[in-house]
Structure 1
Amino acid sequence: MTATVIPETNQHYDLDPAVFEQFLDPMRKYSSGLYLSDTDDLATAQRHKLRFVAGRMGVDDGERVLDIGCGWGALTLFLAGRYDCRVTGVTPAPRQRDHIEATARARGLAERVDVHCGMFERFDAPAGTFEAGAALGSVIHMPDLPAVFARTRRLLRKDARFYVSESCFRNGAIQAEFDARPGTAFVRNAIFGNGRLRPLSELVAAAETAGFSVETVDDLTDHYRRTIEAWIGNVETSRERLDELQDGLADQLTHYLEIANAGWGYTTKHYGLTLRNAR
């Protein structure tokens, strides 16, 4: 039997950083925003979300925080700058690491920001190193979810909070029906290179098995729908520039984002889980 090979990184995130400048907010936050009013624009919603995540984690000034799948560093840099936290980000994409490190230096945050480039499954630190942790839309790329939660819990001190946001199938029956559909396969293979959408129950079971207590579950589905609508609008506005960077890229991104938005409430939901290392 041939073993399944999991890519070291996702091809989507290794695109030229200029691609993401064209359709994300200025912080390049690549996950759901939080819209508190009808007039909030994308950048405002993403700032709201960072403050919300910090509140759910209960971070205090100067604490050590783990940012799993830190992307382009929006949360990492926010916590280091706003709360003087010492943040360790983990990303499999060298271009993301380089961007975060350069931005941290430019903002005078280099001493408070450390970025590990590699798969989280291979990241290690002494037990109880971190006072809080987050994984914004990143565990979808990790096939062994129980092992990921177990590793995270070991890295967190007792009573630390771990915030996880993830898109999920509405239930196991929908997962069985739609996981092999062409749209799902397109997102998984043509965009990410790897990834597995799960029902919420699977996330909760893995977290509880690892020893976490579930404190809150926030339904952020409508917020992610509005976020993606804003991204689609930005792709259209930047169509010419995107196609200069890679032929046909604007259409590919639009197709991916429209597939994502078509499923909200019908096949998929987006949740934020606040877990506590209570045991």
Structure 2
Amino acid sequence: MPQQPPVRSSAPRPSRPDASMSLLTNVMDHSLDDGYAEAAARKKAEGGGGMPKTVRAKLGLAAGLVLAALVVTVGAANARIAAPVVAKERQELIDRIERETAAADKLESNVDTLRADVSARQREALKKSGGEQADLVSILSGATDVHGPGVKLVVNDAKEASTGGDGSNPRETSGFSDTGRVRDRDMQRVVNGLWESGAEAIAINGQRLTALSAIRAAGDAILVDNKPLVPPYTVLAVGDDKRLSTRFQNSADGLYLNALQENFGIRTSISVENDIRLSAAPSVIVRTAQPSTEKGTS
């Protein structure tokens, strides 16, 4: 009887200690989700997944700085190229201004010379036609130089003078100032008060006044015969010194000036002078009156 081959017995495989924790084992063995793994593999295959965002940001910033430096360099180069042209144009403009200024100065000198000649001829004609009263007429008309005793009156703005907020003159209605600035009508009253008090000749800041002189305003500036004056305004008046000073200060115009000083800070001072010298007016227009030929009606 044939023998049966012996049956080989094998020992049973031991079970894993963590067999009962299959879920945790799966998580540990497959910690990276398959979708993330596929995405990482795809980015790596495309060649863009190995550069961090910070590196890309730094490269972009560097590229921007290089571009800005290039623009600045090109602008500086263009400015350096254009500099000689600009300098040449500037010098040409300066030369033109200097030529025009010299021409204007020459014309002004010619005008002064002609004006002096005309004034001399007018004074000569005034003397010939004035007879015995020629000297007095010349003095009163401002056609000749004068000197003698008189008064010196200085009128100045207040220390903290200002203009009106809306640019208007607040004295248009009130007759006074709330800005602390001396106005043209103030100087008109001062001059008229001196004439009325007995002044024989008057000048403001060296500008001789005549019977035809006009004191006007241009903004905050005061014009005397269209020539602007700046404060302080020095008024020189030739006349009976002490009497002239007293009469003016007691007159309505002198009291008006005193009111400006007390209420609005206008600074004034008056003094008696032994010898005041006033130059002749730059231009005196000679005018003569003719008798009327018309007969009156009864």
What's the TM-score once normalised by structure 2's chain length?
A: 0.22
Larger Rg belongs to? 2
Structure having the larger proportion of residues in strand? 1
What's the TM-score once normalised by structure 1's chain length?
A: 0.23
